[in-house]
Amino acid sequence: MPVVETPVTLTPSDAGLTDAEVHRIRNDFPILGTEINGKPLIYLDSGATSQNPVSVMEAEQEFYEQRNAAVHRGAHTLAVEATDAYEDARTAVARFIGARTSELVWTSNATEGINLVAYAMSNAAAGRGGEAARRFAVGPGENIVVTEMEHHANLIPWQELAARTGAELRFLPVDDDGALRLEDAAGVITPATRLVAFSHASNVLGTINPVDELVRLARSVGALTLLDACQSVPHIPVDVKALDVDFLVFSGHKMLGPTGIGALYGRAELLNAMPPFLTGGSMITTVTMERAEYLPSPNRFEAGTQRISQAVALGAAANYLSETGMGRIEAWETALGARLVEGLEAIDGIRVLGPRAGMPRIGLAAFDVDGVHAHDVGQFLDDRGIAVRVGHHCAQPLHRRLGLTATTRASTYLYTTTDEVDAFLDAAAQVRPFFGAK
């Protein structure tokens, strides 16, 4: 039984989605037809969480109605079918990012994926995993490198790892426009660096970071790399082998999937040598009262009963995106992102963070409205049925660096129309007059 059926028949093409296709796609998302405050919902908060197509919700329901059982244990037919559904989903999601099935570990979300690696590294530092795990150990005199634009999820786990192990946490700074200061990288990433963790696409700036350059620098000093791909995997084609990173994390709920599920990709040889983080049932081979032997990846990192229905639904989401075509989604959203930035920059008193109009960015834009707090901007837009994110977007250090505490962010997805972007821009232009900002 297929995990998902093709929702709409799309013309295969390298060009972006067309208006007509986006309107057909919208029919797969019931929530997009709802009203907010008596106005049609204009959902521009997909960077925080995306909406779900019917096929994803049906995949989860169908699993519970027809195949629900514990996986990887029990020999009855239902348990076999449940295990097949669960593992088929893993294959679908692994293939979606160009990984092998054994290289994709289910996690609750991207945050858990990052914590998994951070705790595995401190377990290695404590001597767990023996000689094979030495490459993951960090300690005094060594360092971990992040960037100044990181989401808190890719910062705090490393702060904690540094505090537990005595390692130093360093960061690659950004310039006044929020771009990474690559010219400083050689001084930050040194032979004492054990891991470089950075975001692929910034959830605030919309920039796509130079993965090639950072991986090259990390590799030249023998450091591991971890890519936070939360804002890239859902929106642009991602191939982990082409990116050549050691680890990569992403969340299901930002890519049309349910909450409670995400994934960690790791190169097979690394995952099989890395000590586990969570331990318990389902991740072992032999257990005595004194010790245990662990399964290879991915099971060695999946202790306890797993998020089975969510995994199945995420598999359906990956299939939906693949069938629509990631290249075409990327092209559509790039056009929306450009429209957002051009429109916002044309409004008096609005400052867009990150790349100027005409520079590469994904389909989102965070901005500051002079004289009006982001919370008030969001409230004004909500009154018109427009959902945006306000606040620091879990990136306080980046906001502080840019001299701001809170901004407003509009983020698009494959179901966002140009009319919605225009309605948002029209409303954004009325914010300062409404609040009497001068």
Partner 1 sequence: MSTGLEQLYQQIILDHAKARHGSPLQEYLGAGRAGESHQLNPVCGDEITLRAGVAEGNVTSVTWDGAGCAISMASASVLTDLVQGLPRDEVLSLIDAFREVLRSRGRIEADEEVLGDAAAFSGVSRFPARVKCAMLAWVALEESLLAANA
Gap between the Cα atoms of 78 and 371, Å rounded: 60
Find the catalytic residue in 386, 394, 410, 431. 394
Among 2, 12, 38, 140, binds partner 1 (CB under 8 A): 38
Question: Of the two residues 216 and 375, which places its CB atom closer to partner 1 in the complex?
Answer: 375
Determine the length of the chain: 438
Name the minimum Å distance from CB 114 to partner 1: 21
Stretch binding partner 1 (CB under 8 A), from 151-159, 268-276, 336-344, 377-385: 377-385
| Residues 313-372 interacting with partner 1 (rule: CB under 8 A) | 372
**How many CB atoms neighbour CB 417 within 10 A?**
18
> CA neighbours within 13 Å on the CB side: how many for 387?
21
Query: Which has the closest alpha carbon to 340: 176, 206, 175?
Result: 206
**Residue 432 exposed, middle or buried by CB count within 10 Å (0-12, 13-18, 19+):** buried
Closest to partner 1 by CB, 23 or 375? 375
Handedness of CA 346, 347, 348, 350 (dihedral sign): negative
Helix, strand or coil, per DSSP, at residue 198: strand
* Footprint of partner 1 on 379-408 (CB under 8 A): 379-380, 383, 390-392, 396, 399, 405-406
Among residues 13, 37, 61, 220, which is the contact residue for partner 1, using CB under 8 A? 37
Q: How far is the CB of 378 from partner 1 (least distance, A)?
A: 9
CA nearest neighbour of 263 among 102, 48, 84: 102
For the CB of residue 406, give the shortest distance to partner 1 in the complex, in Å: 5
* C-alpha 37: how far from chain center: 30
Q: Which residue, 101 or 435, has its beta carbon nearer to partner 1?
A: 435
Out of 40, 210, 342, 435, point to the residue binding partner 1 (CB under 8 A): 435
* β-strand partners of 409: 366, 389
Cβ burial of 268 (10 Å; 0-12, 13-18, 19+) is middle
**CB of residue 384 vs partner 1: minimum separation in angstroms?**
8
Q: Which is nearer to partner 1, 99 or 395 (CB)?
A: 395
Smallest distance, partner 1 to C-beta of residue 371, A: 9
Residues 6+ apart with CB under 8 A from 171: 145, 146, 147, 148, 150, 188
Q: Does residue 230 have an active-site annotation?
A: no
For residue 315, the Cα-to-chain-centroid distance in whole angstroms is 16
Q: How many residues bind partner 1 (CB under 8 A)?
A: 20
Q: Collapsing DSSP states into helix, strand and coil, what is residue 343? A: helix
Minimum distance, C-beta of residue 234 to partner 1, in the bound complex (Å): 24
CB of 351 to partner 1, least distance (A): 17
Cβ pair 90, 311 in contact under 8 A: yes
Which one, 4 or 423, has the nearer CB to partner 1? 423
The answer to whether the Cα torsion of 149, 154, 160, 163 is positive or negative is: negative
* Residue 36 binds partner 1, judged by CB under 8 A: no
Catalytic residues: 394
Applying CB under 8 A, the residues found at the interface with partner 1 are: 37-38, 372-376, 379-380, 383, 390-392, 396, 399, 405-406, 434-436
